[in-house]
Structure 1
Amino acid sequence: MKQNIYDNPVFFKEYTNLRKTGVTYNDFVEQPALKSVMPSLDNKTVLDLGCGTGQFAMYCIQNGASKVLGLDISRNMIDQAIKENNHEKIEYICMPIEDLELNNLKFDIIVSSLAIHYIKDYSNLVAKISQFLNRDGEFIFSIEHPIVTARKDMNNWVKDHEGNRLYWALDHYQEEGIREQHWYIDGVIKYHRTISTIINTLIDNGLVLGKMIEPQSITEGLEKMPKLHNEERRPSFMVIKAYKV
């Protein structure tokens, strides 16, 4: 069964309350990095995989996209997207990313924000994405950094007796597969892959690597969330841009 943590009422409440603060890793690290590698969106068609509440879909329209298709497994997310980020040029579909079939539709840009590390069959997904892209189309996505997902218990900071963070522990890096953690609820499943697997799978499916970023916080984030200085010690995210040739 495909994981849908966002329709768990406890998780959805806690997650949406966090995002509404505007003081998160997403706001100061991941989203600025993702947007920094976006091309011109003028008259582009966009597929947003794991669209959540539609904020990025609306960003694309506001920046000139001609059409956005947003896809998410969570009914809660899609309902909120329709409520908060509805637009005649945006279509939202409640469906697992893995089940996507597009009946020969193609897109100029396919984007995914922090969703792909929840997908078990990464290779099959990338194969589909390659098929869905127009020639010269771009696949841009963010994931949790493999340094973060590597250790099996995903409890990586080693601290002293006063709780100060001493260093980041890296282990089990080459052992790809399921990682389970508590994030508001027990049993949140992610999939660890090495950097070489992530990149080579793109190449094997006809995509060319354009850029890779291990982002740091923007200045505002360092002021509002001082703990983001720890991003200098280890990156939380990776942003990758690839092209269809």
Structure 2
Amino acid sequence: MEKAGPNFFDDEVVFASYMQRRQGLDTPNDTLEKPVLMDLIQPITDKRVLDMGCGDAAIGRELLLQGAASYIGIEGSHKMANLAHQTLVNTSGKIILQTIEDWTYPQGAFDLVISRLALHYVADLALIFTKVFDAIAPSGKFVFSVEHPVITSCDRGWIGGTLRQDWMVDNYFKTGLRVTNWLGGTVKKYHRTVEEYFHLLQKTGFIITDLREAHPQREYFQDIETYERRKRIPLFLILAARKPA
């Protein structure tokens, strides 16, 4: 049976597979997504940070070391939240075990809201964008990454356990629920077009400041073959926006 994002990562097999993958060489998260996100969220000093779907909260520890005033991570997976608590030991960071959808967002409490590869698990993104808009102080930033829509559109043509060499893009404009097999489990995701992400932000009231597709940069890769393969298709979509002053 397919699971929602937080429940999916609480599965023993999925969690073990995920952790093994995240510790590998030249992971897409570290080589592609993170460098873009870190560029878009600067400067960090004195910022009150909210991280939606924080995972292990490693970025929270890093941002606090860079001078962030505070860090709160929301995480719906019990296993991920426990790991995040361990990551933030001896810091001022705080983890809240709650889903992105169910948490009560305090008004104007944050200068920066981030979300890394979590919002494609959320069904009603318009509602979440409204909650984020209200939680950000005037002139505050909202930066998030999602799986690129060319990936979420369709997962046919992928043989599990192998390096994917070809990608099939199909039903691109038929947005909504997708069920896919990944990391030894079955998970529910939600496909949206690039256009839909863009206009949802605009309709909420955000001013969009940047859009990136995590173009591979050679300096972040140790393995040249992985670098060349990552140039074939975009894996991530990253959007940056700010709340008007």
Q: TM-score, normalised by structure 2?
A: 0.90
AA matched with 1:102: Y
Residue number in structure 1 paired with 2:173: 174
RCO higher in 1 or 2 (8 Å CA, sep ≥ 6)?
2
Determine if contact 2:111/2:140 at 8 Å carries over to the other structure.
yes
Residue number in structure 1 paired with 2:84: 81
Residue number in structure 2 paired with 1:201: 200
Structure 1 stretches of 5 or more lacking a match? none
1:102-160: CA deviations, max 9, x gaps? 34351000000000011111111101010001000000001001111112xx13569xx
Residue number in structure 2 paired with 1:148: 151
Q: 3-state SS of the aligned residue for 1:190?
A: strand
Partner residue of 1:137 out of 137, 140, 150: 140
Q: 3-state SS of the aligned residue for 2:144?
A: strand
Q: TM-score, normalised by structure 1?
A: 0.90
- Partner Cα distance (2:243, 2:191) in 1: 25
AA matched with 1:64: G
Distance 1:216 1:92, change over 3 A: same
Partner residue of 2:93 out of 79, 90, 93: 90
- Give the drift of 1:15: 0.7
Distance 1:241 1:83, change over 3 A: same
Distance 1:155 1:227, change over 3 A: farther
How many equivalent pairs are there?
A: 238
AA matched with 1:186: G
Q: 3-state SS of the aligned residue for 2:49?
A: strand
Distance 1:156 1:62, change over 3 A: farther
Distance 1:88 1:27, change over 3 A: closer
As a proportion of its length, which structure holds more strand? 1
Partner residue of 1:18 out of 21, 24, 34: 21
Distance 1:64 1:156, change over 3 A: farther
Residue number in structure 2 paired with 1:241: 240
Identity across matched positions, percent: 29
- Partner Cα distance (1:103, 1:232) in 2: 40
Residue number in structure 2 paired with 1:8: 11
- Partner Cα distance (2:84, 2:197) in 1: 29
Determine if contact 1:23/1:225 at 8 Å carries over to the other structure.
no
Determine if contact 1:109/1:133 at 8 Å carries over to the other structure.
yes
AA matched with 2:123: K
Residue number in structure 1 paired with 2:187: 188
Residue number in structure 2 paired with 1:38: 41
Q: 3-state SS of the aligned residue for 1:230?
A: helix
Residue number in structure 2 paired with 1:99: 102
Q: Does residue 48 of the first structure (1) align with residue 47 of the second (2)?
A: no
- Partner Cα distance (2:194, 2:164) in 1: 29
- Partner Cα distance (2:138, 2:157) in 1: 41
Q: 3-state SS of the aligned residue for 2:134?
A: helix
1:179-221: CA deviations, max 9, x gaps? 1111122321111001111010101111011001111223255
- Partner Cα distance (2:65, 2:137) in 1: 22
